[in-house]
Structure 1
C-alpha cells in the first residue's frame, strides 16, 4: 500500500462520467492535481452511498482548491454511471472491474461470509502534481467513513 511520500501507482481504467471514457492517473495529474482517489467497496450500498454523497456535498470546496475527486470501485462503468445519476454525483467514478488498481494500492478486502471477494477497502489517497501520495487513509472497517475535514486539509496542503 502506498504511504505518504510514496509514488502513487499509475493506472488506466474506465471512467464513468455520464459516458464511459478512459482515465490515466499520470495524464490527469498534469491538469487536475491534486487528485483525491476515494476507494469504496460497492455502489448502491448504504455507507458507500453516504460517503460518495458527502464528497459531492464538499465538491465546491475541492473545486476551490483546484482539486479533482474520483471514486474508485470494482463496479462496472455502467453500474457506476447509474449510481452517479441516482445520487446526482458530479465527479467521475473509476471502474476497477479487474481489481488491478485495488491490488496496486493494496486495499483489497473480502466479505467471505457473503461470497464477495476482492472489493476495495474504504480508503482515500491524495496525489499531488508530482504523482506523490500526500495523504493516505485506509479503514479495515467498511462501516467507517473518512474524516472529510482531514481529507480537505490534505488537499489544501497538496495544492
Structure 2
C-alpha cells in the first residue's frame, strides 16, 4: 500500500469525461495537486453522495489549483452515464482491470460473489508525483473529510 511520501504509482487507464480517452497520471502532473478519489461502485448510495459532494465543492479544490478525479472499477461507459445522471463536472477513471486498486492497495472483495472493488479512499498527488495525503475508509459507508482533503490539496500546491 502506498503511503505519504511515496511516489504515486503511475498508470494509464480509460478516462470517462463525456468521451472515453486514455489518461496517464504522469502526463497530468501539471494539474497537481491531483485528488484521486477511489469509490466502490457507480450508482450506489454512498458513492453517489461522495461524488456529488466533490462536484458541489469542486470550486474549493480549483481555488487551490487542485484537480479531482474519481476512480472506480466500473466500465468507462457506465462511468459516463453516472457522470451524466449526476451532472459531475470532473473526470472518472475506469480501473476495469483492477490495476489501480492493486497498485494503491485499496482493493477489497464484496460478498456474496467476491466482486473486487475499490475501498473508498483518497490520495493527493503533488506536482512531483508524490503522495502527500492518504485516507482509507474504515467501512464502505464512511465518506472522506472533504475539508481535510481540500487542505491537503492546498498544502500540496504550496
**After TM superposition, is the score higher than 0.5?**
yes
Q: Which runs of 5+ in 2 are unaligned?
A: none
SS at match of 2:148: helix
The equivalences for 1:9-158 within 5 A come to: 9-29=9-29, 31-113=30-112, 115-158=113-156
Q: Which runs of 5+ in 1 are unaligned?
A: none
Q: Cα RMSD between the aligned structures?
A: 0.7
- Give the TM-score normalised by structure 2: 0.98
How far 1:66 sits from its partner (Å)? Answer: 1.2
SS at match of 1:62: helix
Q: Which runs of 4+ in 1 moved over 3 A?
A: none
How far 1:139 sits from its partner (Å)? Answer: 1.3
Structure 1 residues 67-125: Cα deviation after superposition (integer angstroms, max 9, x where no partner): 10000000000000000000000100000000000100010011122x14210000000
Partner Cα separation in structure 2 for residue 13 and residue 116 of structure 1: 23
Q: How many residues align?
A: 157
